[in-house]
Amino acid sequence: MIRRFLDTLYLASGVLAGVFLAGIAVTIILQIAGRFAGLTIDSTESAGFCMAASSFLGLAYALKSGEHIRVNLLIRYLSPGPRRLIELWCCAFGAVGMAIFAWWAFDLVWQSYTFGDLSPGLLAMPFWIPQLGMAIGASLMVVAFVDEFVCILAGLIPAYERNDPTAAAMAAAEADGAQMRLAAE
């Protein structure tokens, strides 16, 4: 039940990231169309807000889909024990780092809301609205890192490796080897 909820949460954040990505395209297309019609439409600010929301809301979905760039040149050749420890450390480090970032991001949202900060462009949008996408996205990334940490701790293949054919094959071979050792005992 919790697995389904988390997967739905990650998917929803990915869909929202896509919506904001489309928002960038729409604002730029409106600016181009406005130029042809002789209208001045400044979409730079709204495109920037959409870019920030899209980037941060897409983080957790990208991690759980195995789409983040990972440098596993060294750990791919480690035996299962040390590799597992490094994967746990990386997930814990990522969770702590993103939790600190999320804390300060929510603090920034609160300060912007409290002081009534407005964007300086033509829209004059309250700054806390676009900042909220960053804070929520960072928080979802913390949840995703903790989720991966728990999966690795339980001996499961991390979601970010399931889409990597090499890593999945190596993990399956490790699991088969562990089952053979258990059967021999």
**Residue 66 amino acid letter:** G
Q: Does 168 have pLDDT greater than 60?
A: no
Lowest mean pLDDT among 50-54, 94-98, 99-103, 155-159: 155-159
Percent of the chain with pLDDT over 90: 51
Whether 64 and 57 have beta carbons less than 8 Å apart is answered as: no
Q: Collapse the DSSP code of 118 into the 3-class scheme (helix H, G, I; strand E, B; otherwise coil) and give the result.
A: strand
- pLDDT given at position 68: 74
* CA pair distance 140, 95, nearest whole angstrom: 10
Tokens 């209208």 locate to 39
Question: For 103-110, what is the mean pLDDT?
Answer: 97
Instruction: Tell me if residue 71 falls in helix, strand or coil.
Output: coil
Verdict on whether the full-model pTM lies above 0.75: yes
> What whole-number distance in Å separates Cα of residue 48 and Cα of residue 20?
10
